[in-house]
Structure 1
Amino acid sequence: MTSAADSRRAHRPAPSGRNHTLLTTASVVTSLGSHGALIAASFAVLETGGDGGDVGLVAAARTLPLVLFLLIGGAIADRLPRHRVMVAANALNCSSQGLFAVLVLAGEPQVWQMMLLSALGGTGQAFFGPAAEGMLLSSVTAEQAGRAFALFRFATQGATMTGAAIGGALVAVIGPGWVLALDAVAFAVAGALRAFLDVSHIPPREPGRGMFSDLRDGWREFTGRTWLWAIVVQFSLVNAVVVAADAVYGPQVARDHLGGAAAWGLALGLYAAGNAAGALLMMRWRPRRMLLVGVVCVFPFALPSAALAVPVPLSLLCVAMFVSGVSIEVFGVSWMTALHQEIPEEKLSRVSAYDWIGSVSLVPLASALAGPAESSFGRPAALWGCAALVVLATAAVLCVRDVRDLTRRTRPVTTERPVVAPEAAAGPAATGPTAGG
């Protein structure tokens, strides 16, 4: 006779699986540290006499290695056990943040030194990101995918909210150096957790294939879906201007008008609270046309830049950050569900790498140009330009039929499914309308 406990275990949803639990816990730990560290890095530059241009250079230094190494990271993550790639990347991030902390605590760091350490951190992220996304996407079933991704993002964004709020306060109380040191410890703990991930469910890879052949396969998978590359192009613009606004202009507006690091940390915390609320919503809501709903929800992402351009009082900025956080999380869960549904497991990390490289390719340029743009046009005009680009890029993607028509289904894609040729991508694909980060 089956006991009640056995019955509960039999019906336990995929999100409570071991890999999903380890991935979620490790992500919570790193989110607690890294989002406080982002604030700490910006204010470390400002406290040593740097200006907005210097903040932008340090931010760009972190993002540039993403563009250079993401494709290699994606190919390696589809070839080697993904958890080993993740642990090695966490070790590099722990070392770079630890050295950054020592540099700040020891005295007055030079901008080039902070750029170098930020670049090391970005290199770790280039290898970690595709492996982590592939690992997460492969850890759940098709039936539980939407709920699992929403649960993961809910936990991660809750930690982001806490980390940003506490990090901003700690920067004001104990200084940026100690916040960077805490982030290094967080990477060490997360790497230890990820070492216990189980990859036995992932089929062995075919031997004898070179990295360039793997990258070509990933490219064909990426370009063969109009919805995929169109949304990545959209986010190459959206991410660039939003990162410039948040990393370069936001800390300066907070310093000049809102009261400093603690206020900016609160605003970022409200954005993360919106992320958590959006993820909680997506645990219950399963829109049939998931990409259409997700892309429409990108429009409010322009609100924070507009609020900073005015600038509005802190309370209104927090409202704008919260609303944009909710809306972008609806997109995020919809996006992950679409990738899980449409992309074969053995190509997840490579497709993720093309997604990442497209999405961050303009971030270094935007971060580096944010200071000169402020000098040429003024900070309000630059922020209004950021908001306008978000709206225009999102409206353009809604003109793509495949984005509007991609429909949720419960049956997973098989690995034998042929790739849609680029010239045929405008027609119906697989079992639904054709085929973003």
Structure 2
Amino acid sequence: MIRASTRAVGRTEGLVSRSMSSGPAQDLVVIGGGPGGYVAAIRAAQLGMKTTCVEKRGTLGGTCLNVGCIPSKAVLHSSHLYEEATHSFKSHGINLPGGATIDLQQMMRKKDQSVFNLTRGVEESRMRRVIPAKNILIATGSEVSTLPTVPIDDQTIVSSTGVLELSDVPRRMIVIGGGYIGLEMGSVWSRLGTEVTVVEFLDRIVPAMDREIGAQLMRILKKQRLNFKLSTKVVGATKTPVGLRLTVEPSAGGVQEIVEADVVLVSIGRRPYTAGLGLENVGVQVDRRGQVSIDDHFRTSAQGVYAVGDVVRGPMLAHKAEDEGLVAVEIMAGMPGHINYNAIPVVVYTNPEVAMAKTYDSGGDYALGMVKILSDKATDKVLGMHVIGPGAGEMIAEGVLAIETGTTTKEIAKTVHAHPTLSEAFREAAMSAHGKPTNYYKM
């Protein structure tokens, strides 16, 4: 029998251990109430399992709902509205006497209210309990990765959480990391008037994306007043009476340079949240990065212990964790379960949005917006899709469905798409695969 020792608020201590318990056992204890955990708990209950979900926060939803996806998209939306008001309204015949102004405190209150509306309604027990369980599902998510040379204080050197709590619009911001979090948050503050510089160790931004798409996104973001220093690493940071001073140098080594800012955002990725959970007590194998080793059925090296989401291999995405949580529980219940990891969509919520399903890297010409379909030369089945443009995060679902169902580009080309819509681009791209486009010609 496995047991979980829990408390409602704060980090869980001595969480997992082996015990001979005579008390009533749960069929499943889910550790973590984020997208992977609470979805798994709900599915387990639907399947008739006695289930307990353990969460360290006072609310469910994990990082995504409380300090990640949802609050960040709230400020992305607010900053986009401000940018529209200051740069686009006049061309539409909409005039604002005196011009648009920013009330950052109200913007942050709106963000907080969005989170509160989605988290209220569930109250926690404050008792400390020992829960015997037949199975345990580790779904504790991830935490911010840090740089030892740039210690986060969430005042002037901030994480993705702290950057959503700033009380003033900074004059200058340096974003360390050109991934989706850095670009999204950099876009927010750039729209609000901050001079933003993105420092990226690699020679490209959003390295997980198609190279052509990433290059075009950078061209667009430059037009939106974002600056970039690629192939550059940060080697130190010092505070000055008027802000921060970062020392940077080429990633391959070379002459150092000083760059200054009022706020620095460290967004170099995330790491599995597994330290201190007591996983070693039951023989769960964890690598040096904290990632839990699993087989194709989400089973760890310890009998009865499963793991999903950010603590296991693969991209750290809320919807990937959800799907894994559902499938893992169904496998526990003796049902068949499978995830097509080639059909997991990834979205960058910049303006324009960028989305992909399956990672392929290829060359090509640049366009202001595009849909790229990659298909199997022999079977014509869709293998990957990349989109850059308005609503890319919504449109990528058509690509995911095509990959999941083995749809061919000829079938997409034969499918009537309404006009005028953005989704027409899918049909046009599919027709282009056979040299028969009607609205696009390669110059």
TM-score relative to the length of structure 1: 0.24
Which one has a larger percent helix, Structure 1 or Structure 2? 1
| More contact order relative to length (CA 8 Å, sep ≥ 6) | 1
Q: TM-score, normalised by structure 2?
A: 0.24
